[in-house]
Structure 1
Amino acid sequence: MKATWKGTLSFGDIDIPIALYKATGKHGDLDPHRAHTEDGSSVRHQRWCEEEDGEIEDREAAKGHRHSVGRKIVLDDKNMASPPPPDRKRVNVLASVDEGGVDPMLFGQAYYVGGTDPIADRWYVLFRDALRESGRVAVTRVTLGARESLAVLRVHDDLLVLQTMSRPGEVRRPTGIAPRGDITVRPEELKMAMHLMDILSVGFDLDEVHDDRR
């Protein structure tokens, strides 16, 4: 398995050299692309300028933002460039919280955490076992690519797993989505639904669920 990131896990005064490996991904999937129905050749996407009504070169394109008052803001690579954060190769442990204290809605990409220095494996095991025994997860800050993210470190079997998180303010409010509040369910209906869930759960094995349309 190829590492996607290498750096240091900082826990108090302890620094543990680590590498991150993507824990999830698609295996063996098709990689479809846009094709011409007549001959199967690839279809090229053009960069089209609406103002000039014509195609432009890739080097002429940048990121744009239209302000609420109608002003156009263009940000090229020079504008977007920023110095890397000082801790871009470090997973900083900020605190530890109860395992059930983090809303699963915040969780994102998961990474296996592997040690890169056998001499430091003792500290890796110490940190892992401390999380396991306490029933806690560690809240961390890490920079992956150009984005600084919050993440949690938790124990999975004999490994640490780092899982990126959205910030609470990034979770959208589900306004107007929930059913009406005046709907009532009779006890016998609830009992029937729970019985049906029990029936569906008999012999169920998540590992046996496959993508039949791939």
Structure 2
Amino acid sequence: MRAIWKGALTFGLVNVPVKVYSATEDHDVSLHQVHAADGGRIRYQRICELDGEVVPYADIDRAYTDGEQTVVLTKGDFAALPAERSREIEVVEFVPTEQLDPLLFDSAYYLEPDSASPKAYVLLRQTLEQTDRTAIVRFSLRQKTRLAALRTRGDVLVLQTLLWADEVREVSFPALDGPVKISSQELKLSASLVDSYAADFDPAEFTDDYQKELRILIDAKIAEGDTLDPSVTFAASAEQDKGGEVIDLMAALRESVERSRAAKKKGGDEAAQAG
């Protein structure tokens, strides 16, 4: 991994030098646009609308326009901003972990200690673990002031950027405004259905089927000289979505519970036979 940022975590008088790494990566198959008629690559150019010339990326600045006037902001202007110059991740408060709404979570980053001794790093990590609190921090990255949650993941400190409060939309659905009557029997059956699906979450058990199928399709086209009919490669396995509302909720719940139990029993029998 390559560090994307270096600085220091600060809380009180404690200073923890750290390196910052992206915690996630995209494994999607990379695709690009082509001309359907001949397969020619479609490319985009940065054209100045005043002189019609192609502008090199190095000559491009950013600007703010209010409809009447334009203010050009150079790279030097951004670099001069006090927040952009700061190399600190400042702890502003420690909050109960359960108060953080997952809807606020954005990008995740790993923090690596960047000093001869990791003592201050380990101290902060153990403090978070023992107090069951999450540190709310503020820092600047890529010309943006960020709010983030600092938490632990095993032996590593993780920085999870947060959306600002005004970036989360308020929601109101009229269909939910009126009273809805749920019977005790419906709740009981629904709870049984939940119980039949109960499991400990292991993300490694789940795979991106679309990307796997896309990779198979691409490999098949290469092997067959681009003449393979995709319908031959993949058998239709999903039932068509019929849409509409389930009228008999009780019947649907009962059937779901029965199917889930039967599937679980079948899996257990197969495991026993294999053993």
> TM-score, normalised on structure 1?
0.83
Please tell me whether Structure 1 or Structure 2 has the larger radius of gyration of its CA atoms: 2
Quote the offset at 1:104 in angstroms.
1.5
Structure 2 distance, partners of 1:133, 1:203, is 24
Aligned to 1:136: 133
Aligned to 1:22: 22
Alignment root-mean-square deviation, CA: 2.8
1:74 aligns with 2:48: no
Q: Give runs of aligned pairs for residues 1-214 of structure 1, distance below 5 A.
A: 1-27=1-27, 29-45=28-44, 57-58=54-55, 63=63, 65=65, 71-78=67-74, 81-82=77-78, 83-86=80-83, 88-119=86-117, 121-176=118-173, 179-202=176-199, 205-214=202-211
**Per-residue CA shift, 1:123-165, capped at 9, x if unaligned?**
1111110110000011110111100111111111111111111
> Secondary structure at 1:174's aligned position in 2?
coil
Quote the offset at 1:78 in angstroms.
3.7
Which structure has more relative contact order (CA 8 Å, sep 6+)? It is 1
User: Where is the strand percentage greater, Structure 1 or Structure 2?
Assistant: 1
> Secondary structure at 1:81's aligned position in 2?
helix
User: Where is the helix percentage greater, Structure 1 or Structure 2?
Assistant: 2
Q: Structure 2: which amino acid aligns with 1:95?
A: E
Structure 1 distance, partners of 2:192, 2:34, is 49
Quote the offset at 1:45 in angstroms.
3.2
Structure 1: runs of 5 or more not aligned: none
Quote the offset at 1:182 in angstroms.
1.6
Q: Structure 1: which amino acid aligns with 2:87?
A: K
Distance 1:61 1:91, change over 3 A: closer
Number of residue pairs matched? 206
> Secondary structure at 1:129's aligned position in 2?
helix
Aligned to 2:264: none
Structure 1 distance, partners of 2:169, 2:35, is 39
> TM-score, normalised on structure 2?
0.66
Quote the offset at 1:122 in angstroms.
0.5
